[in-house]
Chains A and B, each alone.
Chain A
């Protein structure tokens, strides 16, 4: 079983600041990683797949990087609607998700 560990658990930032979220896999997953955003009361939304590809309609301020075991989601300049919980997900064997990082307003 592949375990995804996300850090930090909570990130306190102000609008306009840069957010850097981390996801670490317990073993190599190549580039088989996705990122999702979940706002309160809403379903998750796919942001990034295959580690670095933006999904349809996702703004350019969201970017993903990494391969193997270490991955990063970067939000270049936080907009008010970006304050949410972010999950990483791998598909190297059956799908599994990380525990999430909450990006909150400082």
Chain B
């Protein structure tokens, strides 16, 4: 069973960069048609797609965050990462990594990490 695990600091200061990594196990991040995404959820609120990346490196971002977001992939480590710069309190959220289903971009997210809470505060 594919597993995803988020890791990274739980506390980030305003104006700094949030950095998270998602480690994929029991499966290859380089499988054909594999897309991987980041979704966030502010406390008590709904889900927001942050962005996604194809295993070859092509990335896609939510326009509302595009100027601040970078998603990258490291196939040698079976990991993909999220960087969000110039963070504010509005970026406080649980961040989930997830896999797009077997139809890739044309599929829902079928495997999710447990999520990690990132708080932006001085």
Chain B associates with chain A: no
Interfacial residues, chain A to chain B (CB-CB below 8 A): none
